Structure 1
């Protein structure tokens, strides 16, 4: 299999230097990483600073010139349009804007241009980005965004719809897809680029994209954060920071933010949705289920207004299918759901159910020839149709 370390890996040299050498970040673009912070390779996944997306009094204002998405044909020159920086004390400080990118118009890819600005008092503007899409008849399907190549607190994989940017005002549904624990950050080494290759091979939507099997007519922005679990770190908080980063960076329809995941990723998706039900329009958990054991969190019934679909194989020896049955029953028995949860049990299927669910071969009547527990739901319609049928009412 050919692994594509795509040209979307912006400022990779800076990221690699920090990763591999554990060096002080002095010399990195000011405002991207604190210049006083030293990050050892073994700590890189846990000690990267969170993006600061809030504007405080005295911060300069930073605005793009032109649209936040630009489309180029391969070999077409990229002409930087720049940005405008205004400070209440210093006035127009556009000359201080720092711009970073590694656009190569000889290679197809989705490239991120990063704009940062610091005024004379050391106040930082909120970083803004422009995405430059270089086409060769069609755009890149899967981009690797190593940690520190963006302002996100995770490295991640990115898929943008084929028409993303053609209408710069169009908003798109966002699907956050969460991987299984076999490729957790604590298991994949400290090379930021190679680590994402493991995630891309972990099945589900990223693997379909990598192998050219994704349905390019689907309208989702799909982001797969590379995360892990160690004691002392609040992953729900970290996921929420990543969601806020995604909403800041991409043209997202905030009424259609979806979570999905396999195994640990299914458990994490259920957990996040329980605690941030106001943000999630619908959630899919495959081979995951109920994440809280015998307890019921105080805020648990916040999930009652968020549609959830749980999938599990009855021969799963990694996570027993009873976890998904419990996740289904807990909502029905303790809450008043406006939309009943869905549960699909696949007779005789094992833990590795996700590929057939997301490739749609597991659909009722599909090529996997699944048999379903008749007490619950068969697999129909597709998860993508089902997700898109739900949206969050905006206040």
Structure 2
């Protein structure tokens, strides 16, 4: 229970985990309108956890209201984007403690990631819970205008963004009055981390022919120690 609500999550523990050494924890947030189980099946993160040796938690969101596009469904409360009467930052804080009580996790290596609304939640945690979250990675969503105005990480912080230029839900040009263009989010974190104004831009090999997509890597350089800012632009990529 948290704030009077029954909160659920799926925890994946690789067979190689013995508890003798502390492992990283990745918290993986689902997109708006779907479930933790769907996110787990869709991303196949468990296979990566098996080889890289970390635990994965898939929390289940409560019902939120989409303030930009309308509708309601399972998701994450983020002021300016998704409305609700519960606090998902506080829930995440408690979730880390709950898992740490039962498993040997390295509290300096707790990371957040997610897709769509879950990706935006990851950035929101970077702003609001940087004392517990070591880094974040977001897929198909970035920071809203309210987060730009109020975000205070308080320390060097690594971020990773994947975003498609043909995303129909969170357009590459942004949503006026709600979401700045997605490339401004890594640029924001480059400033926060005192990176140099120049970035290293390179085209990645096109390993999947026929999908009409290519990938441009944009790496911000000379950031303060302990921080990396990376952006993968999926050219002609959608909301995936």
Q: Taking structure 2 as the reference length, what is the TM-score of the superposition?
A: 0.67
Alpha carbons of structure 1 residues 345 and 287: separation in structure 2 relative to 1, 3 Å = farther
Question: Which residue in 1 is equivalent to 2:214?
Answer: 371
What is the root-mean-square deviation in Å for CA atoms of aligned residues?
A: 3.5
Deviation track 1:149-189 (CA, whole Å, cap 9, x = no partner) reads xxxx6311221122111xx42110111111101216xxxxx
Deviation track 1:195-222 (CA, whole Å, cap 9, x = no partner) reads x544444x2245xx4xxx5562221101
Question: Which residue in 2 is equivalent to 1:224?
Answer: 58
Give distance in 2, aligned partners of 1:306 and 1:199: 25
1:290 aligns with 2:143: yes
1:300 aligns with 2:152: yes
Ranges in structure 1 where 5+ consecutive residues have no aligned partner = 1-32, 34-44, 49-152, 185-195, 347-362, 378-385, 387-395
The alpha carbon displacement at 1:317 in A equals 0.6
Give distance in 1, aligned partners of 2:128 and 2:187: 18
Deviation track 1:78-102 (CA, whole Å, cap 9, x = no partner) reads xxxxxxxxxxxxxxxxxxxxxxxxx
1 or 2 for the larger relative contact order (CA 8 Å, sep ≥6)?
Answer: 2
Deviation track 1:69-120 (CA, whole Å, cap 9, x = no partner) reads xxxxxxxxxxxxxxxxxxxxxxxxxxxxxxxxxxxxxxxxxxxxxxxxxxxx
1:159 aligns with 2:17: no
Q: How does 1:1-395 map to 2 (within 5 A)?
A: 47-48=4-5, 154-165=7-18, 168-183=19-34, 197-201=37-41, 203-205=42-44, 209=46, 214=48, 216-228=50-62, 229=64, 230-293=83-146, 295-297=148-150, 299-302=151-154, 305-321=156-172, 322=174, 323-333=181-191, 335-337=192-194, 364-367=205-208, 370-373=213-216, 376-377=218-219
Give distance in 2, aligned partners of 1:295 and 1:367: 35
The alpha carbon displacement at 1:292 in A equals 3.6
Deviation track 1:201-247 (CA, whole Å, cap 9, x = no partner) reads 4x2245xx4xxx55622211011100133522122112211122122
Give distance in 2, aligned partners of 1:319 and 1:172: 34
The alpha carbon displacement at 1:316 in A equals 0.1
Give distance in 1, aligned partners of 2:60 and 2:201: 27
Give distance in 1, aligned partners of 2:58 and 2:170: 22
Q: How many positions carry a matched residue from both structures?
A: 193
- Determine which structure has more spread, i.e. the larger CA radius of gyration: 1
The alpha carbon displacement at 1:295 in A equals 4.5
The alpha carbon displacement at 1:324 in A equals 2.5
Whether the 8 Å contact between 1:175 and 1:221 is mirrored in structure 2 is yes
Give distance in 1, aligned partners of 2:109 and 2:3: 29
Q: Taking structure 1 as the reference length, what is the TM-score of the superposition?
A: 0.42
Give distance in 2, aligned partners of 1:345 and 1:154: 42
Alpha carbons of structure 1 residues 261 and 163: separation in structure 2 relative to 1, 3 Å = same
